[in-house]
Amino acid sequence: MIEAATTAPSSALHAELERVLSTHFGAAVRIRRLTGQRAPYGSSNSLALLSVEIEAGQQLEIVWKDLSPTAVMEAARGVKPDFLRNPLREIEMYERVLAPRAVGPAFYGSVVDPTIGRYWLFLAAMPGVPLWQIGEFSAWQEAARWLARFHAAWLGAPRLADQHTHLLRCDRAYYRRWLDRLELALARATSEGRLTLRRVQKAYEAIIEQLIELPVSIIHGDFYPANILIQSGKARRVCPVDWELAAVGPHLLDLAALLAGRWTSRQRLALAEAYRAALEEIQGGDLDAAAFSRDLRCCRLFVAVQWLGWSPGWTPPPEQAHDWLLEAAQLSALVA
């Protein structure tokens, strides 16, 4: 019995998974036994853990992510803005970006059938603890260093958006879309809140041109601690998951997401420095510290504005709750 929130019949899953695994292993694969259950961790789309026994005797533990529009979880419906949804985005990230560089879990394959609205992603299950559950600050610094190494592979690469057509594009239209969505926040704010939001709106509009000019890379787009698994062992391994908002955009947007939350100024600086030092080491030169700090503040303001305009009436889970209006107001004063 496969307890996943999906309308797909188990026979279809069985057949598609055999095809995907045969392609992955380069030889015919026949499944002897297939069981599964809903994954215990959250995702906006249906997510199941599959135990697959193949006739060769091998046992595989597979994550099956159903990215089909009909497979959006009930609790997630109406939360993520529609213009951010594209079921092909995460599939493209694993197939063309992550798998060729052995980043993250092994990519077994995907099923894409637009005629019936089917978009499935199959990954190797991997153990790990979400970063937000780890108290060691060194783990957060390692996540920052990993992020710098990931970005460095694409910083300065030409025509990224043309080569990765399903990734979000952080262009002028994209940034202004979030400016427009601030109006949704204004409509439900108190009188005092509206005054603050107007100041934020003005400050954010003023930095859009700066955001457009920032160096771009392929970015995760949702690099928050809930989406970063940490594996312990001889060497700590950082493994980001949920690449549904992957984009071509300023690399510091990912760092801004990692820095969000209840950090002290000293801790936030230490995380930023871990990232900057790793990037300098890879690039073989010093980065302008003042420009780095200025650009990072602009990206942090964008992150705050994004959350303020995310979804009317939506309340995040307690572990993700944050006063984005306060953070946006503080950053607006700093970028002015």
Last residue in a domain, options 66, 92, 124:
124
Residue 196: give the domain boundaries.
129-335
Within a 10 A sphere around the Cβ of 104, how many other Cβ atoms?
21
Please check whether residues 313 and 256 belong to one and the same domain: yes
pLDDT in tens, 68-123: 988 775 555 567 888 999 999 999 999 999 999 999 899 999 999 999 999 999 99
pLDDT (0 to 100) of residue 313: 66
Does residue 8 surpass a pLDDT of 70? no
Which of 124, 159, 192 represents a domain boundary (last residue)?
Answer: 124
Overall domain count for the chain: 2
Residues 293, 252: one domain?
yes
Q: Which of 64-78, 193-207, 258-272 has the lowest mean pLDDT?
A: 64-78
Residues 97 and 40 in one domain: yes
Instruction: Let me know whether 120 and 134 are in one domain.
Output: no
pLDDT of amino acid 5: 44
Q: How confident is the model at residue 3 (pLDDT cuts 50, 70, 90)?
A: very low
* One domain for residues 144 and 87: no
pTM to 2 decimal places: 0.92
Q: What is the CATH number of the domain that holds 155?
A: 3.90.1200.10
108, 124, 140: which is the final residue of a domain?
124
List phi, psi (to 5°) of 67. Answer: -90, 5
Beta-carbon contacts of 268 under 8 Å, excluding residues fewer than 6 positions away, are: 259
Residues 149 and 114 in one domain: no
Residue 4 has pLDDT above 60, yes or no: no
- Check residue 232 and give its pLDDT: 82
* Residues 323-333, mean pLDDT to the nearest whole number: 93
Are residues 197 and 320 part of one domain?
yes
Q: How far is CA 309 from CA 201, 302, 305, in A?
A: 11, 11, 6
Q: What is the pLDDT of residue 170?
A: 97
Contacts of 169 by beta carbon, 8 Å cutoff, 6+ apart? 161, 247, 248, 249
195 and 176 assigned to the same domain: yes
Question: 201 vs 285, which has greater pLDDT?
Answer: 201
Question: Within this chain, do residues 137 and 277 fall inside the same structural domain, yes or no?
Answer: yes
Please tell me whether residues 58 and 191 are part of one structural domain. Answer: no
- Percentage with pLDDT > 90 across the chain: 72
SS3 of the chain: the string is CEECCCCCCHHHHHHHHHHHHHHHHCCCCCEEEEEEEECCCCCCEEEEEEEEEECCCCEEEEEEEECCHHHECHHHCCCCCHHHCCHHHHHHHHHHHHHHHCCCCCEEEEEEECCCCEEEEEEECCCCEEHHHCCCHHHHHHHHHHHHHHHHCCCCCCCHHHHCCCCEECCHHHHHHHHHHHHHHHHCCCHHHHHHHHHHHHHHHHHHHHHHHCCEEEECCCCCHHHEEEECCCCCEEEECCCCCCEEEECHHHHHHHHCCCCCHHHHHHHHHHHHHHHHHHHCCCCCHHHHHHHHHHHHHHHHHHHHCCCCCCCCCHHHCCCHHHHHHHHHHHHC
CATH at 90: 3.30.200
Q: Please tell me whether residues 172 and 277 are part of one structural domain.
A: yes
Clarify whether residues 96 and 144 are in a common domain. no
